[in-house]
Structure formats: C-alpha cells, structure tokens
Structure 1
Amino acid sequence: MTVPADHARRLGRYEVTSSGGERVRAFIPPPLPPVPPINIGPLLGLLDRANQALGRLDGVASILPDTSLFLYMHVRKEAVLSSQIEGTQSSLSDLLLYEAEEAPGVPLEDVRAVSSYVAAIDHGLARLKEGFPLSLRLLREVHGILLAHGRGETQDPGEFRRSQNWIGGTRPGNAVFVPPPPREVMRCMGDLEGFLHAPTPEIPLLVKVGLAHVQFETIHPFLDGNGRLGRLLITLFLCEQGVLRDPLLYLSLYFKANRAAYYEILQAVRETGDWERWLDFFLTGVMETSTQAAAAARLILALFDADRRAIEALGRPAASALRVHQALQARPLITIPLAAQMLGLSRPTVASSLSHLHDAGIVREITGRQRGRAFVYDRYLALLNEGTEPLRRT
C-alpha cells in the first residue's frame, strides 16, 4: 500500500524477533493520538449524524417501560454476534436454551463461550457503576471472565500474553499481521490507558474511542479474546464517559456484516496510517447501528403493547397471563418451572397462562413433549434474531 507523505509519521516500527523457531517482523504501533492529528474537517458531517443517532438511541431508554428487560436481551444479542465473529456457531436461541437449562443439540462449548461473554459485559458495567475506572486492571478482570469457559480457558484468562501471537495464517512466519513482541505489550497498553484518561478536548469522544479500538486490536494484548474485548471496550468507554446512560450501542452486527472491510481497514491503518478512512467506517457503523437499534426498540415496544391488549381481552385469566407475558419479555424462551420461579406463581397457574398465550398466538411450544415443555415468544425473538445467523465456516 502507498503511504501518503503526511501519514509517514503515523507509522509504527517493526522489530525482528524469533517465534516458533523462525524470525518474524512484529509491529509496534506509535502511541495515540496520531501525529499529525486527525483531519476532522471532512468527518464533521458524519460525526454529527453519528452523535445524533446515538443520542436518539440513548433517548429510547427513557420510553422503555423497563429498561432492564431490553438490556437483558440486547446484551445477549451482542454476546452472540461478537462471539460469532470469532468463529462460534451458537445462535441467540442456543444461548436462551442453555440459560433455560434446555440445551439438547446446541454446540455446548460455543454456547458456554457466549454465556461467559454475557458475564464479562455484566461485570465490566457493574464495576464502572461502582466508580472503578476503565483501566488495565478492569480489562484484565473482564478478560478473565470472558475466557473462563470454552476454548479460551487454557489461554491465560486475565493475563497479558507472555508469548508471541499472530493474526491470520497458521504460524507467525506466514501471518497476515504480527502484533508487538510480549515485552512491549505492557508499555503499549500503558500508553493506551493513558490516552483513554487524558483530557483531549480537541478529539471528539466517538473519534477517541474509534482510535482506541484500533490500537487495542493492533496491540492484541491477550492470547485469545482480543476481538471480543476490543469491541466491548467501545461500549465500556462510552458508558464511563456518560455518552450512554445504558449499554445500548454494540457494533458487532455492523462489523459482522462488513467483516472483510473491517479487517482490511484495520490493516490499512497499520500499513499506511490512514486513520481517517477507519474513522469514516467506524462512525458510519455507529450511525447505522444506533438507528437500527432504536428502530428495533420501537418495534419491540409496539409488539409488547399489541400483545398486552390482546391478553387483557382474555377476561378472568388475563391477570396471570399478563405476568407471564412480562416474564417472556425478559426470557423469550421459557419453561414452566423457570417462569414459576421468576414470578412466584404455581406451576399449574403458569401452565394455564402459557396455554392461553399459545391459543392467542403469542407463544409457541417447541419441544412437542408433555413434560419438560418450553415456550418461545416467536415474534419477539424474531426481532431480536435479526442478523444473528452464525457465519458459515470457510
């Protein structure tokens, strides 16, 4: 790739190191912010539209009857999508079956990895609410939970790597990209932490987190889980900075849909210093994802309202059925024992309510069994499922 003259100072350096018995060129990025500074001018229109879309998404939280219910499913959708980018084959339905302890036929190792991602998100956000800073310590804590189960549990969860990793290829010698040598990781991450906390009024927050995401992915500080944690870093930063009151922005659907461009543009930043191209891609993703998420929230609200009115028309059974409907908003795939436990109702009452909801076309029974039945809130799950089909392995 050709490097524009004014971008040459933005380039990192290569260090020849030995890994796996062969000599490789490991890339060490310069610290942020880029020098010369980002040319914000051509991006201002897009930045304004992204900020407006993000503001509308944040405003959706104020019209939701119960933000926690929406967040509960939103976080799970993000966990599925982000994990799929890394190669898991689990769907949102698989995760919900697993959490309902009804998991026959689902890829168990994959779904455990997705479940760990949910726990990692929850932990990171809880720590921020406690006033804990977005720091290297917190990133290590979140990483430790992220890799607690599944394929990554042998890859030093919660610890910066002490050996060379690589991206693409079968070994460092034929890799697409080789991140910094292990001895440089702590220094690079320390610089990144300093940038996150430094007062930079000249750099808009969306631009700042876009820069930080690429830097994290370039350092690749862990043996595994870097992609998932790098995407989660975006949401954690925006929540810490007060841009979002609730963790409603997740870019994995956009990155998944534009996977080839995402990786190609990340590499172009390293090779040519073209941060502006990356920021155009990133801000477009923020704008599109925020718009889609706000629209989905409104569709979900309309669905809940229409179904609530249909349930109220049931007459005497309506009271219990409405409570079960509320449980389904949190768990769109549910069993009778789980609903009874959630609501403090008897199992016969829950079974009767689910039967009424089934007759009204609101839920569908998915096991075909007389015992151990499971019910799915079909139209709600369909809205949530958009874009969560697993990527085909190549």
Structure 2
Amino acid sequence: MAELRESYWDADPSSGLIARDRRGGRYTAYIPDLICTRPLILSSELSTKAAAAERAIRKLGSGPGAKGLEGISRLLLRSEAIASSMIEGIAPSPQQVALAELAQDEEVRGFGDHARLVANNITVLRRASQELVETEFVTTEDVTALHSALLPGERHRGLREVQNWIGGSNRNPLEAEFVPPPAPEVEPLIADLVSYLNGSLHGPLIQAGIVHAQFETIHPFTDGNGRVGRAVIHTVLARRGLTPGAILPVSLVLATLTHRYVAGLSAYRYVGDPLAPNAVDGISSWLSTFVESAAIAAENASRLADDIGDLQREWTHQLGTYRATQGLREEPRAGSATARILQMLPEAPIMTTRTVQRILNVSFPPARAALEELADAGILTRKSVERGTTGYLASQILDLIGLAERRLASTRFDTRIARPQRSAPALPDERHG
C-alpha cells in the first residue's frame, strides 16, 4: 500500500552553508502503489465526462480542419519544448519560433535565443515522441532516452540515484513540499509505469492522466521531470489512436490551471488502502481535473480548426479575385506551386523560395513566381530574413496561433473575461505596432 517512509538527512557541518542548509533531520518520502495492480474506482459521472472528451478529441482528427491543426501542432505545443528550466514559461512569439524552425534548414535571422532553443526542442520532442508511438513496447530505456533527447545538456543521465524533492531548500528535503520515492524504489516503479503504459486497462484519457500523475509522483530524474512528464501524456494519447497528429494542447491548459493541477496531484498521492474513500476521492479529483483540461483543450483546438478553415476559404476567394484582375482564371491549376503552397501555409507559415523548392521539389522560377503571386494577392507578407533573402509570412496564421495561446493562458479561456495569467504571445496589433 502507498506509504510515507521516514528517513534521516545527514547534517553537513563542513559545507560552509548557512545553518539552515547544513543541518540534518527527519523527513518523509512518499512511495506510491504500483499502478498495474492497483484497483481503480471511477464514478459514472467521471467515466461519462472522459468518454465525451475522447469523442471531442477524435473529432479533431477527422473534421474539416484536421490537416491544418496537425500542421500547426508544433506551434501550439511549443511550451512543451522550452529547452531549459531557467526559461520555463517564457513564450517567444509564433513568428520567432517559425523563423527559428526555418533556420534549421536555411540561413535565416530575426529571432532570439529563446526561440532557437524552443525550435530545437520541438524537433527533438516530435522525433522522440514519434519513436515512442511507433515502438511495439515502450521500455524504461525508451523513457530515459526521451529524457536525454529533451535535456541534451543534463549531466545526470538515466534514472536518478539520489533523493530529490520539490520546494523548500535547495540543500535538503527537510522543509520540502513533496519528497518523491527514495532512489532504490525508482526503477521498479518506472518498470510498472511502462507496463501500464503499454496496456489498455483503462480508456486513453484515464490512462494518460494516471501515467502523468504517477510519473510526476515518482520524479525519476534529477531534472527535467516536467518536460518528460508532459511528453508522456502525448505518447499515451497517440499510441491509443486518440491524437495521431499530437494536436491536443492539454499541457497548456494544465499550465494555466496551476493551482488545480498541483492540488490534483497532491490529492492523487493517498496513503494506505487504495479502496479507502480518501484514496478513491483523491484519484478521482486528479482525473477530473485532467479530463476537464483535455475537454477544454479539445474545444479550443476545434475553434482554432474552424478559424483556420475560414481563413483558407477567405484566401481562396482573395486569390481568385486577384487573379481575375490579372486576366487569369480565378482558380490556380490543381497541382501548381501556388495551389500547393496555399494548402501548406498552416504547416509552414514562413517560407522562402528555397523552402518551396525543397518541400515541393520544384525549380526556382515557379517557386518564386508562386510566392510572389500570393504576396501580391495580400495572402503573404514579404520580410527580409537574411541578406538578399526574402521570407514570405502567412501572418494571419501566426496571429490565429497567438490568439489561441492567449485564450489558453486565460483562467477562463476567454481573454474578454480574464487576461492571460502566464506568458503568452502579444496581441497582433501590439506585435505589429
């Protein structure tokens, strides 16, 4: 049964630290039950809410805006990719991140170090997550490899071999808010977690919620647990076929509902019999928060999909009107560079001629002509991204992403009612002003 185990922290009188940090004393570490064998009781109300949220999430992958959402998922989820705990929560603009991503393949400037770090980690996260989705069985080694990929500069690789803690002093756990299991307990707990992750004992959302809470409770690494813990949410949902395009920004919602998130994880950590009322209520409290966050994320992603669909229809009309003034047929030839770029803009909102050549496998003249036509039609905006190189921005896509992130940073998920409570992109008029 889950327990609080008392341990003793040895004093270090020769460390040269202040008295508060060099003292020793007793503390208690939490050891959770194994989740593969732990009974779980869900109320009919919670089960119904989870099923409704799963239906809403599945619709995201099959609705008219699904392709557009899949394309911008990396921008919506860029908070997952903050590359250092020192800059956790900083939100470079969608334009800066898009430029930094483009710079991975081309010579581009006009973005800061934070955007570069985020873009690099987006690439790593997508690659590593895809590998976890495609593998037949996830192993402990896969989880530690994900950690290494997300934190390439971390000195301590693999599962931790020391005690860690959350809150209080950086020098000892005596006043910590939470002390995870002692190091010898970590390996068997993670083995149990990946066994549960590989199965389908519960529905996808419930499984993802339990995996995340258990992972954060084990806190298996010396640093980076938050980033890996968020990544495993998407791993579970994608492996279960709920979000094959990784388009659910549930972590952005959890980051906004910080107090409820922390309270939910605390409630999850019961002591004693898992069937006792306090344990059942505690796990249900956490899962209710997680399921509600997933439902909110799905609702906002659906709204963004609708906005993208409306924008693409507006672009089609706008391009047709422009072409008519040039004496051309309103609709570009199917398969032409212009038609293909128009469909790709949600996925690649910043392009150069080289980008189009690389992605569409066309020569320079049609690539340049297509971008110029879309710019002349008012769909793309020209921007110098390097000496002698013009970038073409779909600024309206970037604005939609920024507005969506601002909504997800509001505790009411509506900036007309409550302003963003954490780092979020500026309003379009503030950015362009």
TM class by smaller structure: 0.7 to 0.9
Structure 1 stretch 224-233 or stretch 237-246: which is displaced more? Answer: 237-246
Structure 2 match to 1:279: 287
Say yes or no: does 1:302 pair with 2:310: yes
Structure 2 match to 1:344: 361
One-letter amino acid matched to 2:97: L
Structure 1 stretch 30-39 or stretch 342-351: which is displaced more? Answer: 30-39
Structure 1 match to 2:116: 111
Structure 2 match to 1:362: 379
Give the fraction of aligned pairs with identical amino acids, expressed as a percent.
23
Deviation at 1:214, TM superposition (A): 0.8
One-letter amino acid matched to 1:27: A
- Uncovered stretches (5+) of structure 1, i.e. residues with no partner: 1-8
Going from structure 1 to structure 2, the CA distance change for 1:368 and 1:40 (only over 3 Å counts) comes to: closer
Verify the 8 A CA contact 1:169 1:175 in the aligned structure 2: yes
Rounded Cα–Cα distance in structure 1 between residues aligned with 2:208 and 2:354: 43
Going from structure 1 to structure 2, the CA distance change for 1:337 and 1:82 (only over 3 Å counts) comes to: closer
Q: Per-residue displacement from partner, 1:54-93 (whole Å, max 9, x unpaired)?
A: 32332332345884x6424203421335639951523433
Structure 1 match to 2:155: 155
One-letter amino acid matched to 1:118: T
Structure 1 match to 2:79: 80
Going from structure 1 to structure 2, the CA distance change for 1:229 and 1:342 (only over 3 Å counts) comes to: same
Partner secondary structure for residue 269 of structure 2: helix
Structure 2 match to 1:3: none
Verify the 8 A CA contact 1:217 1:226 in the aligned structure 2: yes
Going from structure 1 to structure 2, the CA distance change for 1:243 and 1:189 (only over 3 Å counts) comes to: same
Partner secondary structure for residue 62 of structure 1: coil
Give the paired residue count.
373
Q: Which protein has greater RCO, CA pairs closer than 8 Å, 6+ apart? A: 1
Rounded Cα–Cα distance in structure 2 between residues aligned with 1:75 and 1:19: 46
Going from structure 1 to structure 2, the CA distance change for 1:253 and 1:376 (only over 3 Å counts) comes to: same
Structure 2 match to 1:335: 352
Partner secondary structure for residue 361 of structure 1: coil
Q: Per-residue displacement from partner, 1:89-136 (whole Å, max 9, x unpaired)?
A: 23433221111123434124x63255224322333323432x431331
Say yes or no: does 1:383 pair with 2:403: no
Say yes or no: does 1:132 pair with 2:144: no
Deviation at 1:291, TM superposition (A): 1.9
Structure 2 match to 1:6: none
Rounded Cα–Cα distance in structure 1 between residues aligned with 2:32 and 2:371: 59
One-letter amino acid matched to 1:13: R
Q: CA RMSD in A?
A: 3.3
Question: How do 1:1-394 residues align onto structure 2 when only pairs under 5 Å count?
Answer: 11-18=3-10, 22-23=24-25, 25-33=27-35, 37-41=39-43, 44-64=44-64, 67=67, 70-81=69-80, 83=82, 87-89=88-90, 90-101=92-103, 102-108=108-114, 111-129=116-134, 131-148=135-152, 153-157=153-157, 159-171=158-170, 172-173=172-173, 174-197=175-198, 200=201, 203-270=202-269, 273=279, 274-313=282-321, 314=323, 315=328, 318=332, 319-367=336-384, 371-385=388-402, 386-387=404-405, 391-392=422-423
Verify the 8 A CA contact 2:32 2:269 in the aligned structure 1: no
One-letter amino acid matched to 2:30: I
Rounded Cα–Cα distance in structure 2 between residues aligned with 1:197 and 1:94: 37
Structure 1 match to 2:430: none
Give the helix-richer structure, 1 or 2. Answer: 1
Verify the 8 A CA contact 1:308 1:322 in the aligned structure 2: no
Deviation at 1:220, TM superposition (A): 0.8
Verify the 8 A CA contact 2:101 2:119 in the aligned structure 1: no
Partner secondary structure for residue 142 of structure 1: helix
Structure 1 stretch 30-39 or stretch 262-271: which is displaced more? Answer: 30-39
Rounded Cα–Cα distance in structure 2 between residues aligned with 1:260 and 1:189: 26
Structure 1 match to 2:413: none
One-letter amino acid matched to 2:146: V
Rounded Cα–Cα distance in structure 1 between residues aligned with 2:338 and 2:396: 17
Partner secondary structure for residue 155 of structure 1: coil
Structure 1 stretch 382-391 or stretch 184-193: which is displaced more? Answer: 382-391
> What TM-score, normalized to structure 1?
0.81
Rounded Cα–Cα distance in structure 2 between residues aligned with 1:127 and 1:34: 20
Deviation at 1:14, TM superposition (A): 4.1
Going from structure 1 to structure 2, the CA distance change for 1:266 and 1:16 (only over 3 Å counts) comes to: farther
One-letter amino acid matched to 1:350: A
Verify the 8 A CA contact 1:13 1:29 in the aligned structure 2: yes
Partner secondary structure for residue 290 of structure 1: helix
Structure 1 stretch 80-89 or stretch 268-277: which is displaced more? Answer: 80-89
Partner secondary structure for residue 351 of structure 2: strand
Structure 1 stretch 236-245 or stretch 15-24: which is displaced more? Answer: 15-24
Deviation at 1:292, TM superposition (A): 1.7
Structure 2 match to 1:5: none
Structure with max Cα Rg: 2
Going from structure 1 to structure 2, the CA distance change for 1:240 and 1:35 (only over 3 Å counts) comes to: closer
- Uncovered stretches (5+) of structure 2, i.e. residues with no partner: 13-21, 271-277, 410-419, 425-433
